[in-house]
Structure 1
Amino acid sequence: MHLMTRRGFTQSAFTLLTLTTACSLFNAHAQNWPDKPVRMIVPVGAGAAPDVIARIVGERLATAWGQGVVVDNRPGAGGIPGMSALAKSARDGYTIGFVPAAMGTITPLVFKNPQFNPETELSAVATVGISPLMLAVPANSGIQSVADLARYAKANPGKVNFAAPQLNSLPHLAGEMVSKAGGMGLFTVPFRAPPEAVSAVLAGDAMLTIDGVPGLLQHVKSGRLRAIGVTSAKRLPGIDVPAVSETYPGYEAIGWFQIIVPTGTPQAVIERINSDVNRITASPEVAARLAEMGVYPRQDSVATARSFFDEQHKAMKRLVADLGILAQ
């Protein structure tokens, strides 16, 4: 039989007291959070669409929390400065990230040294919304559908230019997915920004471009472009354009925005953020503002938000591997 010495008992009691005190302090911290301003890292420049959405959400979080939410823009290099800063931040709930899909799931795959690992260093907290893309061709092209595009591309191998808004961006990969699904063999021409890609199609220098719905819809309404598909799993409400999945079942390539924190952030804080973000995105005013930017709000539990992120990350991994894209 083991007999504990007085010294051993004292040490065990001290350890238990220390752990109990630490847990009490931890719980008190979570209950009192936030008692100072919260920093929101946004891995894009000020004024870009994700930044505008981040500020809409941030303003309302500040009201809900009674503390300032300071937007910290960290643009450049596929979002690496912002994402790496988020991953290396203190795990106390006072640094959160507003993360677009490309920065969270594509950047880690196409850069040799992304400086962050989304699988081990970051945790999704809440999904703000999804942002489907639209496929558009010149209105005078005679191409009426995705199936028409495939037939034309096969009849004219190597001659159908796809104006990609940016190399290895979500629209670029979405276009490569369409090309692969339909055996089209599209010739990809990457541009520096979406307006340049759109201009190429408007000028007749390219047959196809893919971008967010708002950026293309104005040209569709003016009659200069024809929308032939959207990349969501189903048709979008209020937009009479077929989903690409109607032609190629299982196809989906959507943008999204999530609130993400460093792994190890207190669970009580995570649950609080999730609840407040869901309440904000469910409000009619915010939903209307997001809709103007082609974002469809959704309310997820923490577990669902994390599963969604994991699924999207795995899908991008498979796609990058299938396309043979090498990290640069």
Structure 2
Amino acid sequence: MNRRSLLGLAAGALALPAHRHASAQSFDRPVRIIVPFAPGGTSDIIARLIAPDLSRAFGQNVVVENRTGAGGNIGADHVAKSAPDGHTLLLIDVSTLATAPSLYTRLPFDLKRDLAPVTMLIYAPYILAVHPSVPAANAAELVAFARANPQRVNVAHAGIGVGNHLTGLLVTQHWGAELTQVPYRGGAAALSAVAAGEAQMIINGATATAPFCKQGTLRAIAVTGPARLPDFPDVPTFAELGWPADQSGTWQGMLAQGGTPAPMINRLATDIGAAMAVPATAQRIAALGGVNRVEGPESFRRWLDNEIEVWARVVRANNLRLD
């Protein structure tokens, strides 16, 4: 083999990793964001807010697709079994996702192996709200009414074992009251049920719930998180009331398929972080009670691992198991 041929082979060998590295970070077809809950919930709101800016950043259409059911696991499983190329993403309440390994007897995917954290997006505290027909203007009156009327208060939530369901269990157990927990197919359906008077109470993300409270369709009683919400200055926090789960809420995050190359994960994290920082998007999230919590893949992974352990204790304490 002559010197020119050897040089050509060497150049080709050197070029191959560079080509692979570049392709691992590019998009050659539309990108789908799978939201595993019904339209109108917090995950859906965030996905549709950032999709246009991600389309420009990726150079491809970004489509939001709702795949509902099983507390978010149907959509999560779809992403877990997708091609590991960054073209199918999962936007989910990750505190709900963290309950899946302990809650389900047979989970069709391995959370730690089959899904790769990309970035946290926002934290939105929960609002505990009631239908206006409930004879309670504040927390003390609500607790008294619930205790005096066992199982007469239906609590709507987004599905058995999801974050707002477990938070509701902890809070009502603390009250010493018997309430009826009613699952719906996502937070939006649960909100609609309470707004219609079908159920009387809900604990749900502020991003989706605040508009109902501002309109008077629901009455805000208490909020989770470190401080009162600016739009509801008279509504106390769980911590002020001495209630448990005071820092629970909806933590929205983006994940990809577990085998997605690190360069693609890093590009996704960078572009999604930039989309979340667009002033109009940031202002919209803040107006809805959300707090921007964008952070890198490793920090997100550590947070998720910790949440899996935290909620596993709650699931075991309440003997919750699903097939």
Q: What is the count of residue pairs matched by the alignment?
A: 305
Structure 1: gaps spanning 5 or more residues: 1-16
| Partner SS, residue 120 of structure 1 | helix
**Equivalent residue in structure 2 for 1:36, among 20, 28, 32:** 28
From the superposition, tell whether residues 90 and 245 of structure 1 become closer, same or farther in structure 2 (CA, over 3 Å): same
Q: Kindly provide the amino acid, as one letter, of the partner of residue 130 in structure 1.
A: Y
Once residues 133 and 88 of structure 2 are traced to their aligned partners in structure 1, the CA distance between those partners, rounded to angstroms, is 50
RMSD value over aligned CA atoms? 3.3
Once residues 82 and 90 of structure 1 are traced to their aligned partners in structure 2, the CA distance between those partners, rounded to angstroms, is 14
Matching of residues 232-271 of structure 1 within 5 Å? 232-240=225-233, 241-246=235-240, 247-248=242-243, 251-271=246-266
Matching of residues 15-164 of structure 1 within 5 Å? 25-32=16-23, 33-44=25-36, 47-49=39-41, 50-101=43-94, 104-138=97-131, 143-154=136-147, 156=148, 158-159=150-151, 161-164=153-156
Once residues 202 and 86 of structure 2 are traced to their aligned partners in structure 1, the CA distance between those partners, rounded to angstroms, is 40
Residue deviations 1:81-128 (CA, integer Å, cap 9, x gap): 321121122323333322233662244444433311212221211112
Q: Kindly provide the amino acid, as one letter, of the partner of residue 105 in structure 1.
A: A
Note the C-alpha offset of 1:141.
5.2
Note the C-alpha offset of 1:140.
6.8
Residue deviations 1:51-70 (CA, integer Å, cap 9, x gap): 34223323212211323334
Assess if the C-alpha contact under 8 Å between 2:35 and 2:64 holds in 1. Answer: no
Once residues 178 and 299 of structure 1 are traced to their aligned partners in structure 2, the CA distance between those partners, rounded to angstroms, is 29
1:182 aligns with 2:179: no
Assess if the C-alpha contact under 8 Å between 1:37 and 1:70 holds in 2. Answer: no
Once residues 65 and 16 of structure 2 are traced to their aligned partners in structure 1, the CA distance between those partners, rounded to angstroms, is 29
Assess if the C-alpha contact under 8 Å between 1:122 and 1:263 holds in 2. Answer: yes
Once residues 301 and 30 of structure 2 are traced to their aligned partners in structure 1, the CA distance between those partners, rounded to angstroms, is 22
From the superposition, tell whether residues 45 and 178 of structure 1 become closer, same or farther in structure 2 (CA, over 3 Å): closer
Structure of higher RCO (CA pairs closer than 8 Å, 6+ residues apart): 2
Q: Which has the larger radius of gyration?
A: 1
Residue deviations 1:229-281 (CA, integer Å, cap 9, x gap): 11224323333122212223662221122110122322222222112211211
Structure 2: gaps spanning 5 or more residues: 1-8
1:284 aligns with 2:271: no
TM-score, scaled relative to structure 2 = 0.79
Amino-acid identity (%): 28
Q: Which runs of 4+ in 1 moved over 6 A?
A: none
Once residues 238 and 289 of structure 2 are traced to their aligned partners in structure 1, the CA distance between those partners, rounded to angstroms, is 17
